């Protein structure tokens, strides 16, 4: 990672990764988020080095097209060809993309950074946020899949809205809660909890 920071002239990136991972003055970021942010910056720098001034949102979209598993091979190929026509070495660039493990190793082994221990309330809040994001992702994937099936006339479907409701039932007392309610109240209120 140190090589990439130097090669892509990303002065201050190491400190910024530390700050974001530790949440110093900003919301703390996950290692996966940091890897995506780092990789998008690599893409932005590669485009800039090739003389391309990306439009707003273009880097995020190109990164998604290059890396997201939900993207068709045709869309990915078009994104690659677009970058290649601008003289961006896409093969070299994508080889330089880092994983969340690489970010972790860089921060902990080379920058000697460690996360402060989290209190239980922060952990519950973080896990609640993870569940919320997964619920939203499931809704988005379901919507996209249904739209595709409808557009290709594999199913018949008018305008629609997807709702994802995650509920938990305590098998000791049969009480049912939404996940957010369960986490907010600190668990089930039955005698066996």
Res 121: pLDDT: 65
Res 190: pLDDT: 83
Mean pLDDT of the chain: 91
Q: What is the pTM of this model?
A: 0.62
Does some domain include residue 193? Answer: no
Assess whether 98 and 172 both reside in one domain.
no
**At which of 110, 136, 153 does a domain end?**
110
Q: What is the pLDDT of residues 142-170, one digit of tens each?
A: 999 999 999 999 999 999 999 999 999 99
Query: Collapsing DSSP states into helix, strand and coil, what is residue 177?
Result: strand
Q: What is the pLDDT of residues 27-71, one digit of tens each?
A: 889 999 999 999 999 999 999 999 999 999 999 999 999 999 888
Res 124: pLDDT: 82
Assess whether 90 and 46 both reside in one domain.
yes
**Residue 191, pLDDT above cutoff 70:** no
Does some domain include residue 190? Answer: no
Burial 122-151 (b: 16+ CB within 10 A, else e): eeeeeeeeeeeeebeeeeeeeeeeeeeeee
Both tokens of 64, joined, read 């998604």
Assess whether 17 and 101 both reside in one domain.
yes
Residues 124 and 182 sit within 8 Å (Cβ to Cβ): no
- Sign of the dihedral through C-alpha 81, 74, 91, 56: positive
Please state the domain count of the chain: 2
Does some domain include residue 46? Answer: yes
How far, in whole angstroms, is CA 177 from its chain's centroid? 28
Res 189: pLDDT: 85
Q: What is the pLDDT of residues 113-147, one digit of tens each?
A: 987 665 666 678 888 888 988 999 999 999 999 99
Assess whether 127 and 164 both reside in one domain.
yes
Res 34: pLDDT: 96
Q: Provide the domain limits for residue 126.
A: 120-185
């Amino acid at each position: 990672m140190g090589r990439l920071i130097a090669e892509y002239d990303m002065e201050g990136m190491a400190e910024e990764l530390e700050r974001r991972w530790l949440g110093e003055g900003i919301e703390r970021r996950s290692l996966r988020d940091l890897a995506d942010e780092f990789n998008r910056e690599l893409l932005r720098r590669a485009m800039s080095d090739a003389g391309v001034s990306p439009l707003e949102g273009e880097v995020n979209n190109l990164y998604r097209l290059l890396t997201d598993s939900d993207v068709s091979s045709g869309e990915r190929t078009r994104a690659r060809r677009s970058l290649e026509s601008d003289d961006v070495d896409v093969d070299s660039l994508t080889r330089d993309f880092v994983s969340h493990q690489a970010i972790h190793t860089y921060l902990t082994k080379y920058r000697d950074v460690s996360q402060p221990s989290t209190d239980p309330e922060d952990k519950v809040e973080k896990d609640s946020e993870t569940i919320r994001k997964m619920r939203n992702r499931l809704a988005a994937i379901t919507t996209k899949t249904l739209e595709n099936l409808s557009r290709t006339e594999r199913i018949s479907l008018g305008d629609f809205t997807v709702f994802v409701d995650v509920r938990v039932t305590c098998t000791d007392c049969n009480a049912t809660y939404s996940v957010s309610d369960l986490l907010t109240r600190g668990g089930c209120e039955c005698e066996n909890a």
